[in-house]
Amino acid sequence: MNDPTAETIFAPATAAGRAALAVLRISGPDAERALTQLAGALPPPRVAQRRRLVDPQGEEQLDDGIILWFPAPRSATGEDVAELHLHGSRAVLAAVMQVLARLGLRLAEPGEFTRRAFLNGKIDLLQAEAIADLAAAETDAQRRQALRQLRGGLGDIYRGWRDRLVRLLAHLEAAIDFPDEDLPPEIENRILGETEGLVAEIERHLADGRRGERLRDGIDVAIVGPPNAGKSSLLNRIARRDAAITSPVAGTTRDVIEVAIDLGGYPVVLADTAGLRDGGDAIEQEGRRRAVQRAEQAEIRLFVFDAANPADAAGASIWRGADTILVANKIDLAPWAGPDLASVVVPISALTGEGIDRLLTVLGERVAETYRIEAPVLTRARHRQALEEAAASLRRSFCAALPELRAEDFRLALRSLGRITGAVDVEDLLDVIFRDFCIGK
Protein backbone atom coordinates (compact mmCIF):
# COMPACT_ATOMS: atom_id res chain seq x y z
CA MET A 1 0.00 0.00 0.00
CA ASN A 2 1.18 3.50 -0.77
CA ASP A 3 2.10 5.65 2.17
CA PRO A 4 -0.34 8.56 1.85
CA THR A 5 2.02 10.86 3.73
CA ALA A 6 4.59 10.46 0.92
CA GLU A 7 2.26 12.66 -1.09
CA THR A 8 2.28 16.40 -0.75
CA ILE A 9 -1.11 17.94 -0.15
CA PHE A 10 -2.55 21.42 -0.39
CA ALA A 11 -5.83 23.05 0.59
CA PRO A 12 -7.25 26.48 1.20
CA ALA A 13 -7.22 27.13 4.96
CA THR A 14 -9.82 29.87 4.64
CA ALA A 15 -13.46 29.67 3.62
CA ALA A 16 -14.36 29.80 -0.03
CA GLY A 17 -15.72 33.00 -1.55
CA ARG A 18 -14.68 36.60 -1.88
CA ALA A 19 -12.54 37.87 0.96
CA ALA A 20 -9.55 40.12 1.52
CA LEU A 21 -7.25 37.14 1.91
CA ALA A 22 -7.14 33.45 1.13
CA VAL A 23 -4.60 31.25 2.88
CA LEU A 24 -3.37 28.17 1.08
CA ARG A 25 -1.46 25.51 2.98
CA ILE A 26 0.92 22.97 1.51
CA SER A 27 2.23 20.03 3.54
CA GLY A 28 4.57 17.19 2.67
CA PRO A 29 7.97 16.37 1.18
CA ASP A 30 7.40 18.42 -1.98
CA ALA A 31 6.36 21.59 -0.15
CA GLU A 32 9.83 23.11 -0.57
CA ARG A 33 9.99 22.40 -4.32
CA ALA A 34 6.49 23.80 -4.84
CA LEU A 35 7.22 26.92 -2.83
CA THR A 36 10.52 27.70 -4.56
CA GLN A 37 9.06 27.10 -8.01
CA LEU A 38 6.20 29.46 -7.28
CA ALA A 39 7.94 32.12 -5.23
CA GLY A 40 11.71 31.82 -5.63
CA ALA A 41 14.30 31.16 -2.93
CA LEU A 42 13.10 29.80 0.43
CA PRO A 43 12.59 32.47 3.05
CA PRO A 44 14.06 31.85 6.51
CA PRO A 45 11.83 29.55 8.59
CA ARG A 46 8.75 31.21 10.11
CA VAL A 47 9.48 34.64 8.64
CA ALA A 48 6.81 36.23 6.46
CA GLN A 49 8.07 37.56 3.13
CA ARG A 50 6.29 39.34 0.36
CA ARG A 51 6.76 37.70 -3.04
CA ARG A 52 5.50 37.68 -6.56
CA LEU A 53 3.95 34.28 -7.19
CA VAL A 54 4.71 33.15 -10.73
CA ASP A 55 3.61 30.16 -12.79
CA PRO A 56 6.92 28.35 -13.39
CA GLN A 57 5.60 27.35 -16.81
CA GLY A 58 5.36 30.50 -18.91
CA GLU A 59 6.38 32.91 -16.14
CA GLU A 60 2.93 34.42 -15.81
CA GLN A 61 2.39 36.27 -12.54
CA LEU A 62 -0.41 34.67 -10.50
CA ASP A 63 -0.54 36.96 -7.51
CA ASP A 64 1.44 39.14 -5.18
CA GLY A 65 1.31 37.79 -1.63
CA ILE A 66 2.99 36.73 1.59
CA ILE A 67 4.74 33.38 1.95
CA LEU A 68 5.77 31.47 5.05
CA TRP A 69 7.99 28.44 5.39
CA PHE A 70 7.75 25.97 8.31
CA PRO A 71 10.35 23.21 7.88
CA ALA A 72 9.64 19.86 9.54
CA PRO A 73 9.22 19.02 12.32
CA ARG A 74 8.30 22.48 13.64
CA SER A 75 5.07 22.84 11.72
CA ALA A 76 1.39 22.21 12.26
CA THR A 77 1.53 18.78 10.62
CA GLY A 78 5.08 17.89 11.60
CA GLU A 79 5.98 17.85 7.89
CA ASP A 80 7.45 20.60 5.72
CA VAL A 81 4.69 23.18 5.46
CA ALA A 82 4.39 26.22 3.23
CA GLU A 83 1.72 28.87 3.61
CA LEU A 84 0.65 31.25 0.88
CA HIS A 85 -1.36 34.33 1.83
CA LEU A 86 -3.06 35.29 -1.40
CA HIS A 87 -5.64 37.81 -2.46
CA GLY A 88 -8.96 36.26 -1.59
CA SER A 89 -10.49 35.77 -5.00
CA ARG A 90 -11.63 32.52 -6.49
CA ALA A 91 -9.63 33.15 -9.66
CA VAL A 92 -6.33 33.69 -7.82
CA LEU A 93 -6.87 30.64 -5.63
CA ALA A 94 -7.88 28.50 -8.60
CA ALA A 95 -4.86 29.58 -10.64
CA VAL A 96 -2.39 28.81 -7.84
CA MET A 97 -4.03 25.47 -7.04
CA GLN A 98 -3.91 24.53 -10.69
CA VAL A 99 -0.17 25.12 -10.76
CA LEU A 100 0.30 23.08 -7.57
CA ALA A 101 -1.64 20.20 -9.09
CA ARG A 102 0.52 20.42 -12.21
CA LEU A 103 3.60 20.20 -10.00
CA GLY A 104 2.33 16.82 -8.76
CA LEU A 105 0.71 17.89 -5.49
CA ARG A 106 -2.85 16.96 -4.68
CA LEU A 107 -5.82 18.52 -2.92
CA ALA A 108 -6.04 17.35 0.71
CA GLU A 109 -8.81 15.06 1.92
CA PRO A 110 -11.07 16.42 4.68
CA GLY A 111 -9.16 16.45 7.95
CA GLU A 112 -5.94 15.30 6.31
CA PHE A 113 -3.77 18.04 7.80
CA THR A 114 -4.99 17.12 11.30
CA ARG A 115 -4.56 13.45 10.55
CA ARG A 116 -0.95 14.00 9.56
CA ALA A 117 -0.39 16.05 12.70
CA PHE A 118 -1.62 13.05 14.71
CA LEU A 119 0.47 10.53 12.73
CA ASN A 120 3.54 12.68 13.31
CA GLY A 121 2.89 12.90 17.03
CA LYS A 122 2.15 16.65 17.02
CA ILE A 123 -1.23 16.07 18.68
CA ASP A 124 -3.01 13.12 20.26
CA LEU A 125 -6.39 11.77 19.19
CA LEU A 126 -8.16 13.81 21.86
CA GLN A 127 -6.68 16.99 20.46
CA ALA A 128 -7.61 15.96 16.93
CA GLU A 129 -11.19 15.52 18.15
CA ALA A 130 -10.99 18.86 19.93
CA ILE A 131 -10.05 20.57 16.66
CA ALA A 132 -13.17 19.07 15.09
CA ASP A 133 -15.27 20.16 18.10
CA LEU A 134 -13.84 23.66 17.98
CA ALA A 135 -14.73 23.98 14.32
CA ALA A 136 -18.27 22.79 15.10
CA ALA A 137 -18.72 24.82 18.32
CA GLU A 138 -21.87 26.91 18.27
CA THR A 139 -21.92 28.34 21.77
CA ASP A 140 -19.35 29.84 24.13
CA ALA A 141 -19.40 26.90 26.52
CA GLN A 142 -18.75 24.49 23.65
CA ARG A 143 -15.88 26.63 22.43
CA ARG A 144 -14.34 26.74 25.90
CA GLN A 145 -14.67 23.00 26.33
CA ALA A 146 -13.06 22.28 22.95
CA LEU A 147 -10.17 24.63 23.74
CA ARG A 148 -9.67 22.96 27.10
CA GLN A 149 -9.40 19.61 25.35
CA LEU A 150 -7.13 21.06 22.67
CA ARG A 151 -4.73 22.29 25.33
CA GLY A 152 -4.23 18.66 26.21
CA GLY A 153 -5.50 18.51 29.79
CA LEU A 154 -7.66 15.50 29.13
CA GLY A 155 -4.87 13.65 27.35
CA ASP A 156 -2.57 14.37 30.31
CA ILE A 157 -5.02 12.70 32.70
CA TYR A 158 -5.37 9.58 30.56
CA ARG A 159 -1.65 9.37 29.87
CA GLY A 160 -1.02 9.72 33.59
CA TRP A 161 -3.27 6.73 34.31
CA ARG A 162 -1.65 4.80 31.53
CA ASP A 163 1.85 5.50 32.89
CA ARG A 164 0.82 4.31 36.32
CA LEU A 165 -0.66 1.15 34.87
CA VAL A 166 2.45 0.51 32.76
CA ARG A 167 4.46 0.72 35.96
CA LEU A 168 2.12 -1.64 37.80
CA LEU A 169 2.25 -4.12 34.94
CA ALA A 170 6.02 -3.89 34.87
CA HIS A 171 6.17 -4.78 38.54
CA LEU A 172 3.79 -7.64 38.03
CA GLU A 173 5.67 -8.96 34.98
CA ALA A 174 8.88 -8.85 36.94
CA ALA A 175 7.28 -10.96 39.65
CA ILE A 176 6.10 -13.47 37.04
CA ASP A 177 9.27 -13.67 34.96
CA PHE A 178 11.70 -13.78 37.80
CA PRO A 179 10.08 -15.74 40.60
CA ASP A 180 13.43 -16.41 42.20
CA GLU A 181 14.49 -12.82 42.26
CA ASP A 182 14.25 -11.30 45.64
CA LEU A 183 11.24 -9.06 45.19
CA PRO A 184 9.96 -7.12 48.17
CA PRO A 185 7.32 -9.22 49.98
CA GLU A 186 4.84 -6.34 50.10
CA ILE A 187 4.75 -6.04 46.32
CA GLU A 188 1.45 -7.89 46.03
CA ASN A 189 -0.28 -5.52 48.42
CA ARG A 190 1.23 -2.52 46.77
CA ILE A 191 0.01 -3.58 43.33
CA LEU A 192 -3.45 -4.25 44.75
CA GLY A 193 -3.59 -0.94 46.59
CA GLU A 194 -2.42 1.06 43.59
CA THR A 195 -4.83 -0.72 41.26
CA GLU A 196 -7.69 0.09 43.63
CA GLY A 197 -6.64 3.72 43.70
CA LEU A 198 -6.54 3.84 39.91
CA VAL A 199 -9.96 2.22 39.50
CA ALA A 200 -11.41 4.69 42.01
CA GLU A 201 -10.00 7.63 40.05
CA ILE A 202 -11.31 6.34 36.73
CA GLU A 203 -14.72 5.73 38.25
CA ARG A 204 -14.84 9.20 39.75
CA HIS A 205 -14.02 10.62 36.34
CA LEU A 206 -16.79 8.50 34.78
CA ALA A 207 -19.32 9.63 37.39
CA ASP A 208 -19.41 13.17 36.02
CA GLY A 209 -23.08 13.09 35.03
CA ARG A 210 -21.98 13.14 31.39
CA ARG A 211 -21.59 16.89 31.67
CA GLY A 212 -18.92 17.11 28.98
CA GLU A 213 -20.83 15.01 26.51
CA ARG A 214 -23.98 16.98 27.19
CA LEU A 215 -22.18 20.24 26.66
CA ARG A 216 -20.93 18.93 23.36
CA ASP A 217 -24.26 17.55 22.16
CA GLY A 218 -26.66 19.97 23.84
CA ILE A 219 -28.38 19.85 27.23
CA ASP A 220 -31.81 18.25 27.07
CA VAL A 221 -34.66 20.28 28.52
CA ALA A 222 -38.13 18.71 28.23
CA ILE A 223 -41.30 20.76 28.36
CA VAL A 224 -43.93 18.60 30.06
CA GLY A 225 -47.34 19.05 31.62
CA PRO A 226 -51.03 18.38 31.09
CA PRO A 227 -52.64 18.83 27.65
CA ASN A 228 -53.55 22.38 26.68
CA ALA A 229 -51.36 23.89 29.40
CA GLY A 230 -49.50 25.81 26.70
CA LYS A 231 -46.35 23.73 26.18
CA SER A 232 -46.22 24.22 22.42
CA SER A 233 -46.97 27.90 22.82
CA LEU A 234 -44.11 28.21 25.30
CA LEU A 235 -41.71 26.44 22.96
CA ASN A 236 -42.73 28.74 20.13
CA ARG A 237 -42.33 31.76 22.34
CA ILE A 238 -38.84 30.69 23.37
CA ALA A 239 -37.74 29.62 19.94
CA ARG A 240 -39.27 32.81 18.53
CA ARG A 241 -40.43 30.87 15.56
CA ASP A 242 -43.18 28.44 14.71
CA ALA A 243 -41.41 25.23 15.56
CA ALA A 244 -44.42 23.48 16.99
CA ILE A 245 -48.05 23.69 15.93
CA THR A 246 -50.33 25.12 18.61
CA SER A 247 -53.98 24.28 18.61
CA PRO A 248 -56.90 24.75 20.99
CA VAL A 249 -57.77 21.04 20.60
CA ALA A 250 -56.35 18.94 23.42
CA GLY A 251 -53.80 16.29 22.59
CA THR A 252 -52.53 17.57 19.24
CA THR A 253 -48.82 17.53 19.98
CA ARG A 254 -48.39 13.87 19.33
CA ASP A 255 -44.69 13.60 18.93
CA VAL A 256 -41.61 15.21 20.34
CA ILE A 257 -40.55 18.48 18.73
CA GLU A 258 -37.08 19.87 19.35
CA VAL A 259 -35.55 23.29 19.14
CA ALA A 260 -31.86 24.00 19.75
CA ILE A 261 -31.14 27.30 21.50
CA ASP A 262 -28.12 29.07 22.93
CA LEU A 263 -28.88 29.94 26.53
CA GLY A 264 -26.22 32.25 27.94
CA GLY A 265 -23.52 30.39 26.03
CA TYR A 266 -24.83 26.93 26.80
CA PRO A 267 -26.31 24.71 24.09
CA VAL A 268 -29.81 23.66 25.08
CA VAL A 269 -32.16 21.36 23.20
CA LEU A 270 -35.73 22.17 24.18
CA ALA A 271 -38.23 19.42 23.52
CA ASP A 272 -41.98 19.86 23.51
CA THR A 273 -43.63 16.61 24.48
CA ALA A 274 -47.15 15.37 24.08
CA GLY A 275 -49.62 16.22 26.82
CA LEU A 276 -49.69 13.98 29.82
CA ARG A 277 -53.16 12.63 30.50
CA ASP A 278 -54.89 9.31 30.59
CA GLY A 279 -57.04 7.82 27.86
CA GLY A 280 -56.94 8.84 24.22
CA ASP A 281 -56.40 6.78 21.10
CA ALA A 282 -53.40 4.62 20.31
CA ILE A 283 -51.45 7.46 18.72
CA GLU A 284 -52.02 9.65 21.73
CA GLN A 285 -50.92 6.91 24.08
CA GLU A 286 -47.77 6.43 22.05
CA GLY A 287 -47.15 10.16 22.20
CA ARG A 288 -47.58 10.07 25.94
CA ARG A 289 -45.20 7.14 26.28
CA ARG A 290 -42.53 9.03 24.34
CA ALA A 291 -43.20 12.17 26.37
CA VAL A 292 -42.64 10.36 29.63
CA GLN A 293 -39.52 8.65 28.33
CA ARG A 294 -38.14 11.89 27.00
CA ALA A 295 -38.93 13.71 30.22
CA GLU A 296 -37.21 11.03 32.23
CA GLN A 297 -34.06 11.27 30.15
CA ALA A 298 -33.98 15.06 30.12
CA GLU A 299 -31.52 16.86 32.35
CA ILE A 300 -34.03 19.55 33.24
CA ARG A 301 -37.83 19.67 32.92
CA LEU A 302 -40.17 22.61 32.58
CA PHE A 303 -43.48 21.45 34.01
CA VAL A 304 -46.14 23.72 32.50
CA PHE A 305 -49.64 23.94 33.97
CA ASP A 306 -52.58 26.30 33.72
CA ALA A 307 -52.37 28.97 36.42
CA ALA A 308 -56.15 28.69 36.79
CA ASN A 309 -55.72 25.07 37.92
CA PRO A 310 -52.98 25.16 40.57
CA ALA A 311 -53.86 21.60 41.55
CA ASP A 312 -52.33 20.47 38.22
CA ALA A 313 -48.89 21.35 39.60
CA ALA A 314 -49.08 18.18 41.64
CA GLY A 315 -48.55 16.29 38.37
CA ALA A 316 -44.90 17.36 38.50
CA SER A 317 -44.32 15.26 41.58
CA ILE A 318 -43.67 12.14 39.48
CA TRP A 319 -40.29 13.74 38.78
CA ARG A 320 -38.52 14.24 42.00
CA GLY A 321 -35.52 16.42 42.49
CA ALA A 322 -34.48 19.96 41.91
CA ASP A 323 -34.26 19.70 38.16
CA THR A 324 -37.95 20.28 37.48
CA ILE A 325 -39.00 23.92 37.15
CA LEU A 326 -42.71 24.60 37.68
CA VAL A 327 -44.22 27.03 35.19
CA ALA A 328 -47.70 28.51 35.76
CA ASN A 329 -48.97 29.58 32.34
CA LYS A 330 -51.81 31.77 31.03
CA ILE A 331 -51.49 34.40 33.77
CA ASP A 332 -53.07 36.81 31.28
CA LEU A 333 -56.36 34.98 31.91
CA ALA A 334 -56.06 34.28 35.61
CA PRO A 335 -53.37 35.85 37.77
CA TRP A 336 -51.22 33.35 39.59
CA ALA A 337 -52.34 33.24 43.20
CA GLY A 338 -49.72 30.91 44.64
CA PRO A 339 -46.12 31.61 45.62
CA ASP A 340 -44.07 32.98 42.74
CA LEU A 341 -40.59 32.44 44.08
CA ALA A 342 -38.43 31.33 41.19
CA SER A 343 -37.45 28.23 43.10
CA VAL A 344 -41.10 27.21 43.44
CA VAL A 345 -43.15 28.44 40.50
CA VAL A 346 -42.41 30.79 37.62
CA PRO A 347 -45.62 32.48 36.42
CA ILE A 348 -45.74 33.29 32.70
CA SER A 349 -48.00 33.93 29.79
CA ALA A 350 -46.90 32.17 26.64
CA LEU A 351 -49.45 34.31 24.82
CA THR A 352 -48.27 37.78 25.87
CA GLY A 353 -44.67 36.87 26.67
CA GLU A 354 -44.93 38.05 30.27
CA GLY A 355 -42.52 36.22 32.57
CA ILE A 356 -40.65 34.51 29.71
CA ASP A 357 -37.44 36.42 30.34
CA ARG A 358 -37.57 35.48 34.01
CA LEU A 359 -38.17 31.84 33.10
CA LEU A 360 -35.18 31.88 30.75
CA THR A 361 -33.04 33.46 33.47
CA VAL A 362 -34.08 30.77 35.96
CA LEU A 363 -33.46 28.04 33.38
CA GLY A 364 -30.16 29.61 32.30
CA GLU A 365 -28.94 29.77 35.91
CA ARG A 366 -29.89 26.14 36.45
CA VAL A 367 -28.01 25.12 33.31
CA ALA A 368 -24.95 27.21 34.13
CA GLU A 369 -24.86 25.84 37.68
CA THR A 370 -24.93 22.27 36.47
CA TYR A 371 -22.63 22.59 33.47
CA ARG A 372 -20.02 25.09 34.57
CA ILE A 373 -16.95 22.99 33.98
CA GLU A 374 -13.45 23.98 35.03
CA ALA A 375 -11.51 20.73 34.96
CA PRO A 376 -11.21 18.67 31.80
CA VAL A 377 -14.13 16.25 31.49
CA LEU A 378 -15.16 13.45 29.23
CA THR A 379 -16.58 14.80 26.01
CA ARG A 380 -17.36 11.77 23.92
CA ALA A 381 -19.03 8.40 24.25
CA ARG A 382 -15.88 6.91 22.69
CA HIS A 383 -13.80 7.99 25.68
CA ARG A 384 -16.45 6.85 28.14
CA GLN A 385 -16.61 3.42 26.58
CA ALA A 386 -12.84 2.98 26.61
CA LEU A 387 -12.64 4.12 30.25
CA GLU A 388 -15.46 1.80 31.27
CA GLU A 389 -13.60 -1.07 29.62
CA ALA A 390 -10.38 -0.11 31.37
CA ALA A 391 -12.12 0.07 34.76
CA ALA A 392 -13.85 -3.29 34.13
CA SER A 393 -10.54 -4.96 33.24
CA LEU A 394 -8.92 -3.56 36.36
CA ARG A 395 -11.80 -4.67 38.55
CA ARG A 396 -11.59 -8.13 37.00
CA SER A 397 -7.89 -8.26 37.85
CA PHE A 398 -8.79 -8.31 41.56
CA CYS A 399 -10.26 -11.80 41.14
CA ALA A 400 -7.56 -13.15 38.82
CA ALA A 401 -6.46 -16.56 40.03
CA LEU A 402 -2.98 -16.28 38.58
CA PRO A 403 -0.59 -13.35 38.26
CA GLU A 404 -0.42 -14.08 34.51
CA LEU A 405 -4.19 -13.55 34.26
CA ARG A 406 -3.95 -10.38 36.22
CA ALA A 407 -1.21 -9.16 33.90
CA GLU A 408 -3.51 -9.89 30.97
CA ASP A 409 -6.25 -7.79 32.58
CA PHE A 410 -3.75 -4.98 33.04
CA ARG A 411 -2.76 -5.24 29.38
CA LEU A 412 -6.41 -5.06 28.31
CA ALA A 413 -6.91 -2.00 30.48
CA LEU A 414 -3.78 -0.43 28.99
CA ARG A 415 -5.04 -1.03 25.51
CA SER A 416 -8.38 0.59 26.37
CA LEU A 417 -6.65 3.64 27.83
CA GLY A 418 -4.25 3.81 24.90
CA ARG A 419 -7.08 3.81 22.44
CA ILE A 420 -8.37 7.09 23.83
CA THR A 421 -5.28 9.11 23.02
CA GLY A 422 -4.30 6.92 20.08
CA ALA A 423 -1.08 5.65 21.61
CA VAL A 424 -1.41 1.89 21.77
CA ASP A 425 2.00 0.35 22.07
CA VAL A 426 3.67 -1.83 24.64
CA GLU A 427 7.28 -0.99 23.87
CA ASP A 428 7.36 1.52 26.70
CA LEU A 429 6.70 -1.35 29.09
CA LEU A 430 10.19 -2.72 28.51
CA ASP A 431 11.81 0.59 29.34
CA VAL A 432 10.04 0.73 32.67
CA ILE A 433 10.96 -2.83 33.58
CA PHE A 434 14.60 -2.11 33.17
CA ARG A 435 14.51 1.32 34.70
CA ASP A 436 12.68 0.22 37.83
CA PHE A 437 14.27 -3.15 38.48
CA CYS A 438 17.67 -3.17 36.85
CA ILE A 439 17.07 -6.84 36.13
CA GLY A 440 19.75 -7.36 33.54
CA LYS A 441 22.48 -6.07 35.77
Q: Binding segment for ligand GDP among 64-72, 82-90, 329-337, 374-382 (CB under 6 A)?
A: 329-337
The span of 145-153, 343-351, 388-396, 414-422 binding ligand GDP (CB under 6 A) equals 343-351
Q: Determine the interface stretch with ligand GDP among 49-57, 131-139, 229-237, 367-375 (rule: CB under 6 A).
A: 229-237
**Range in contact with ligand GDP (rule: CB under 6 A) among 83-91, 104-112, 204-212, 324-332:** 324-332
**Stretch of residues binding ligand GDP (CB under 6 A), selected from 205-213, 242-250, 293-301, 395-403:** 242-250
Restricting to residues 199-228, name those near ligand GDP by CB under 6 A.
Answer: 227-228
Residue 287 binds to ligand GDP (criterion: CB under 6 A)? no
Contact 400, 406 (CB under 8 A): yes
For position 332 contacting ligand GDP by CB under 6 A, the verdict is yes
Cβ closer to ligand GDP: 316 or 377? 316
- Nearer Cβ to ligand GDP, position 255 or 388? 255
Tell which one of 35, 229, 316, 345 touches ligand GDP (CB under 6 A): 229
Residue placing its CB nearer to ligand GDP in the complex, 210 or 277: 277
Nearer to ligand GDP (CB atom), residue 297 or residue 352: 352
Quote the CA–CA distance of 421 and 130 in Å, as a whole number: 12
Segment interacting with ligand GDP (CB under 6 A) among 3-11, 65-73, 166-174, 245-253: 245-253
Q: Is 329 in the site for ligand GDP (CB under 6 A)?
A: yes
- Give min distance, CB of 247 to ligand GDP, in A: 5
Residue in 243, 249, 237, 242 with CA at minimum distance from that of residue 351: 237
Q: How far is CA 90 from CA 5, 12, 95, 119, in A?
A: 28, 11, 8, 32
Does residue 195 bind ligand GDP (CB under 6 A)?
Answer: no
Task: Tell me if 27 contacts ligand GDP by CB under 6 A.
Answer: no
Minimum CB separation from ligand GDP for residue 320, in Å? 22
Q: How far is the CB of 81 from ligand GDP (least distance, A)?
A: 55
Query: Which residues, in sequence order, are CB contacts of 369 under 8 Å at separation 6+?
Result: none
Site for ligand GDP in 258-277 (CB under 6 A): 275
Q: Which residue is nearest to ligand GDP (CB)?
A: 230
Q: Using the rule CB under 6 A, is 142 a contact of ligand GDP?
A: no
Smallest gap from Cβ 304 to ligand GDP, in A, equals 6
Q: Are 124 and 421 in contact (CB under 8 A)?
A: yes
Only one of the segments 102-110, 188-196, 241-249, 397-405 lies at the binding site for ligand GDP (rule: CB under 6 A); that segment is: 241-249
> What Å distances lie between residue 306 and 156, 274, 349, CA to CA?
52, 16, 10
User: Does 285 engage in binding with ligand GDP (CB under 6 A)?
Assistant: no
Q: How close are the terminal C-alpha atoms of the chain, in Å?
A: 43
351 binds ligand GDP (CB under 6 A): yes
**How far, rounded to the nearest angstrom, does the alpha carbon of residue 237 sit from its chain's CA centroid?**
30
Q: Answer yes or no whether residue 230 interacts with ligand GDP by CB under 6 A.
A: yes
Task: Indicate whether 330 belongs to the interface with ligand GDP (CB under 6 A).
Answer: yes
Residue 429 neighbours by CB distance under 10 Å? 17
**Count of positions on this chain that bind ligand GDP (CB under 6 A):** 19
By beta-carbon proximity to ligand GDP, the closer residue of 125 and 363 is 363
For ligand GDP, the binding residues (CB under 6 A) are 227-233, 246-248, 253, 275, 329-330, 332-333, 349-351
